[in-house]
Each structure stands twice: as C-alpha cells, then as structure tokens.
Structure 1
Amino acid sequence: MDSKTFNQILEIAFEKRVSDVHFEVDNPPFFRGRGQLIRSKLAKLTPKDTEFIATRIMEQNGRKLPEDFKEFDASYALSNGGRFRVSVFRQRGHIGIVMRVIPPNIGTFKELKLPAVLAEIVKAPNGLILVTGPTGNGKSTTLASMLRHINETYSYNIITIEDPIEFLFTSQKSCIIQREVGIDTENFSSALKAALRMDPDAIMVGEMRDLETIDACIKAAETGHLVFSTLHTQNAASTINRMVGYFPPDAQEIIRQRLADILVATVSMRLIKDKTGEQVIPVVEVMRTTTTIQACIREGRLDEIKKHIENGSVQYHMQTLDQHLLQLCQRNIITLESAKRVTNSMDFERMLTFT
C-alpha cells in the first residue's frame, strides 16, 4: 500500500457515493453502499498496509501513531475536497480502519427531506437543542443542516467543538469557529468552558459523552446561549432519562427542573430505504418543549411525552416516529415491511389501517 493507491481507493468511494470504507488485515477493502457491505476485488490487506493507512491519517492530522493506542477518531481529506471521518482501532492484534464518507455539500432541510419545523426550532434565542439516534442515522448531517440555516439567516458567532471536525463551514452572515478535540483543544468540557469566553451566540458540541460535558452544555444554555449537541438515544423520553441518569440520585430532581427550563427541542433520527431501495430517507421524531411537556420533565412523567407530541402535531408541528412512518407509508414512499422494522409499536399495521 502507498499513498497513491490509498487515495485512489478513497476517490472511488467518494465518486460512487458509498457511505463507508473498511480496511482490515487479511481482507480486501470493503465498501458500504445503500446499506449493503460490498467486498471489493482488490488484494487482501497486510498488517503493514493497515499500519501505513493509520500512520498516513495521523500525519495529515499533525500527530504520530501511538504504539500503545487501542482506538481513536480522526478525519482525513483528499486533495479534491473529499472528506472522511475515521475510526482507527485494534482487532486481534492488528490495526483496522473504518472511514465514513462526509458528503461534500451541506444540504438544506428541503434537500435532506427534513421537517420544515427545524427552521422554527433554530430561531430560539437560547437553550438546548438535541439531535439523537443510533450511530449512522444522520445526526451529524442534520446538525450541519441546522448550522447552515443559521449561518445563512442570522448574524451569530457560532463555535463548534467536534471530534473530529466533519463538515467544513464557510462564514456567511454568521462567523463560524470550528475546533477539533485532540488538535485544537484537549476535550469537550474544557473547550466548552473556553467557548463561553469567545463571545458565542451558538455552540455546537459534537457529542455529549460524559457528565462533565452534559453539565457544561446545560450551564451554557442557562447563561443565554443556544447549544446544539447529540446523544445516542431513541426518542425524547429516553434522551431526557439518559441525561438525568448521568447525575447522582440526589441531584436528579434539580436536573429535571433545569432541563425543563432550557430544553428547546429534541430531534430523533432514523434512516430508512424508500420503496425503490435506491434512496435513504430520514424518519424523524420532533419534540418541542411546550409548557405541558415542561411539566412532564419536571415531575418525571416521561411516559406521557409521546402522547403530548402526538397531540401537538397541528399546533406545534411536532411528530412521533410512528406518525412520520404512517405519513411515509400513506404517501407510498416506504413499504409497510420497512416501517415495521423501525417502529417500536406492535399495533403499527392496525394504526395504518384505521388512519
């Protein structure tokens, strides 16, 4: 493996619009396209090949490959503008690499088929907006689209803290500062504290991974900033439950009070294939923190939130995952079988029959 061959493989991946490239010892490179993992016809990779790839990635990031590493995240860019989010890890004593293709352009809400209400949500002058969902279901892309809308619409100072930096922004109406954990800053929590001294209007934290970062995000929202972040949770109720659960039991009641005051919205994502199998489209739960939902958060009545989201569909343009799945089925965009793989409801087919 040399730099030319490595970059050629990545250029092919970028041009063919695959989502991921896998490099593992004793296998040829694998590509993931339209959700399917495809084995390439290239030569099997040796331990020296994957070590070379990992070293090359680290060099571009201005770092050396540590001998004792177990896993780390980074980014990689091609000269033609193609960018990748990289996970480097050890498996069976060898180095493995998975590279996620970052789309070259940041899509608008309409282009990404995201709910138009997101434009209303980002109008909030301050508070916490969370995008949630499993890995690989469009959280980063959705966050980037929200920041694009703000960048084009408002005169804000936006600071992003990412690990690694994914989408590259050019300042338009807003000024955007992008900082990468491990290169520009030590960690999320220290970068957040520094961000508060950088005259921010909006702060985007790539992921809330620990108690310190969650607490810092809540404090930033409480002090008048608009804060965006992500969590690997399934829906609004599980998101609130997860955040509260990070804190000691004796602090959880006050955290519920604080969250009720600052939470603007949660946007929970799934990606699903359309009926043709050619396109992947988002299925989205949208919860906006109305006074009724604030009361549910404060009093720990999280099991009632889904009902209030359903009831707020007309007035507040909220929607549950099932409501969106029903719409997509009724419009003949997705199949019933695809919807049933995503829904948690045992009654989905009956709901479809009676709507």
Structure 2
Amino acid sequence: MDLASRYKGVVGLVFGDNASPNEDSYIQRLLDRISNGTLPDDRRSAIVELQSVVAESNAAQLAFGASGFPVVVGILKDQRDDVEMVRGALETLLGALTPIDHARAQKTEVHAALMNSDLLSRLVKSLEGSIRERIVDVYSRPKSEVAVVPADLEQRSGENEKDYINRVKAFIEKQCSEIQNLLARNAALAEDVASSGRNEQSQGSEQRASTVMEKVHIDSIKRELQETSQRLETIKSEKAKMESEASEYKNVAAKLESDLKGLSDAYNSLEQANYHLEKEVRSLKGGEGPMEYPDVEAIKEEVRKEAQKESEDELNDLLVCLGQEESKVEKLTAKLVELGVDVDKLLEDIGDESQAQGECEDDDQ
C-alpha cells in the first residue's frame, strides 16, 4: 500500500480521492450544527462527535478536508474564550491530519514520512494571518469592561483628607507608570510573536523591546521634568509676590514707627508745656491774691483736657492702624511659613536694618 492510499483525510484533496455521499452528508450536518447552532451544549456535542468520526474514518477525513477547515478556523478565531470548543477544534484538526493507521499506533511512535509537508505548509499559511492578527489584538489591547476598584482607593479609618489625597495621588501615578510599562511590553511581545519565529531574530526582538522600554522611560522622565519646571515657576512667582508684599509691609512698619516717634515727641512736648503751665500756676499762686487762683486752675484744667484729648485721638488712630497692619503681618507670616521662609530670621534682619538706619541718623545729627 503506497503513501497516497494510506493517507486519506485532507490528503485526498491532493490526490483526487472522493468521499461517499453518506459520509459527506453526515459531516456537513455536524459542521452545520457547529457553525449555526444556537445551543452551546449541542455545538460542543457536535464537535466531540465530529472529532470521533474523523479519527476513525478515512471518508470522514476526506469530507472534513473539503469543507471543515473554515469552521475550525472560525472557532479558533471567534470563540477562543470557549475552552471546550477550542480544544475540540484542535483535536479534530489533529485527527484530520493524522492517518488512520498512524492514529492507532503507539503515541510515542513518530512517522515523519506519513506527514505531507506540502499540505501542512498550506494549512499553516492559511492560519498564519488569522493567528497573527489575533495575537496582536490580544497583546496590544487590554480587556474592556473590567471594573476593579483597588482597596488603596478607599479612605482609611482615621485618615485625614490631605493624607488620603496624597496617597491616592501616589497610587494613581504608580498605576500610570505600570500601565505604560505593561503596554510597552505587550507591544514588544506582540511584535515578536507576529514576526518570524527564527532563532536568529531573538536578539533583534530583545533589542526592540529594550528600545520601547527606554522610550517609555524617557517620556516619563520628560513629563516629570516638565511638571517639576512648572511647579518651580509657580513657586518662584509666589516667592516674588511674597517678597513684594514683605517689602510693602516693611515700608508700612517703618512709616508707623516714624509716626509713633512723632507722636511720642508731641506727647513729650505736651508734657513739657503742661509742666511749664503748672510752674506758672504755682508762681501765680505764690505772688498773687486768692482771687486769681480759680482762673489759673480753670486754665490749667482746660489745657490739660485739650492735650489729653489730642493725645487720645492720635493714640486711637495709631492703635487702629497698628491693628490693621498686625493682621496683614499675620497673613504674611502664614504665607511665608508655607513657603518655608524663616520668619523670625527675616524679622531680625529687618530689626537690624532699622537699628542701623537709626544709628546713621543719630551720627548725622
């Protein structure tokens, strides 16, 4: 018996053999149940029955070779999530490609001469495009409609809002980095699997994967640098604004200090005037009769009231101004503390400058 007579099934297409009408009709009914059936259990039963028939009958192999390959390819392409259907399709395909005598021999035996290399190459070429597209689709795009809420996104007991926001922000940044790395690895893997499987190209695949990873890493570093630059510019502008406000408050404080000094001088002048008036009153009391005394006391009281009223008005105005400036200084201090500025040292520097200016004015006088 020659190779053509022993190897039925799909080889019959090559050598011109024909299947019987009964086998043809039976195989067609099974294929129709598999491809057009609506009940999953009936379709699985049909694929199991087809597998058994193809493994035992040369005529069934021939009939399957005539019209069964598109059905099997459709299962492998469109129904890959159904494990039983995929396994049945692969086993049916293996049975169709295996001669009956070879299938009944020991599984450990290898009959390379029984395998038609031309037929297998045709089958591989017909499946290559579909398998390549499916591999690229699986590894380049993640599954959709999969909602998983990590536990890290939930606020912990006793955790304040600021710590929770910082923790969630760090978690999201980490997830973004991992997703980018995963997409890069999947893209490199899909490219390697879809390309030729020769061993000499493995080094080039590793180099492409490394290049993709380096590109993702460089893009991540660029984004971090850009964000850091933006933050730095914002901090610089805020610092300049705070320094401008500090300079304004410093000028206001110097003006208030000058006003306070002028008020103190005016108060001292009033004290001196009051002292002179009292001295004159005492002299008048000693040199004049008792009739002059009531007039002197009235004059003294009137002058004192006027001086006291003027002093109180000026003090009230000064206290109001000081209260307003103190509120501004407190706000400025809070902002400077947020920026990390040592407020105490800044005040010491202002005091030293004011003292130096006072000493210069005293030297000039």
> Under TM normalisation by the shorter chain, which class is it?
under 0.3
From the two aligned structures, give the one with the greater strand fraction.
1
Q: TM-score with structure 1 length normalisation?
A: 0.20
Q: TM-score with structure 2 length normalisation?
A: 0.20
- Higher RCO (Cα < 8 Å, 6 or more apart): 1
